[in-house]
Amino acid sequence: MIYDYDGKPRNLKKLVLEEALAYAKKYLKLSDASYVLIEFTKDCDTFGYAHNEGDNDYHIEINKNHTVPLMLGTLFHELTHIRQYETGRLIMTPNDDGAVWEGLYVEAEYDDQPWEEEAYDLETKMLRNFKRNFKKKYNYAL
């Protein structure tokens, strides 16, 4: 995964973000061919979004009005969606009224969408592991 980020908030240190991205790339086995633009913004009406722009280009928006652990959890959540897009397990419909998940059309409430269930599960696991590993490596708790 090749990435850029814009609008990084002051409370999210560059070292923390870079380590989190390296961890997620390895954990999720993200493709080296993918380009991800991560935009930290105050204009996001939720924790974050992941957009498939086509041709291995992705855009993640993260609400920067949250704590560092919440932003990192959101980053892991949205990168899980990038992995789902990369592998073809998740294909969003053009008007976002449903999606193709593992070859089947799914139209469900947000909390019942299987791709969201997976992203929330991995977000929690990844954040817990990352925080533990970061503390061991740098003797600094997030």
Q: Tell me: the pLDDT tens digits for 112-138? A: 999 999 999 999 999 999 999 999 999
Chain segment 36-72, per-residue pLDDT in tens? 999 999 998 899 999 999 999 999 999 999 999 999 9
Please determine, for residue 16, whether its predicted confidence score (pLDDT) is greater than 70: yes
Beta strand pairing call for 35-41 and 2-6 = parallel
* CATH H-level, domain 2-132: superfamily: Metalloproteases ("zincins"), catalytic domain (3.40.390.30)
Give residue 96's pLDDT. Answer: 67
Q: How many CA atoms lie within 13 A of 117 on its CB side?
A: 7
- Torsion over CA of 40, 51, 15 and 87, rounded to 10 degrees? 170
Which is nearest to 19 in space by CA: 141, 131, 120? 131
Polymer length of the chain: 142
- Domain ranges (residues) in the chain: 2-132
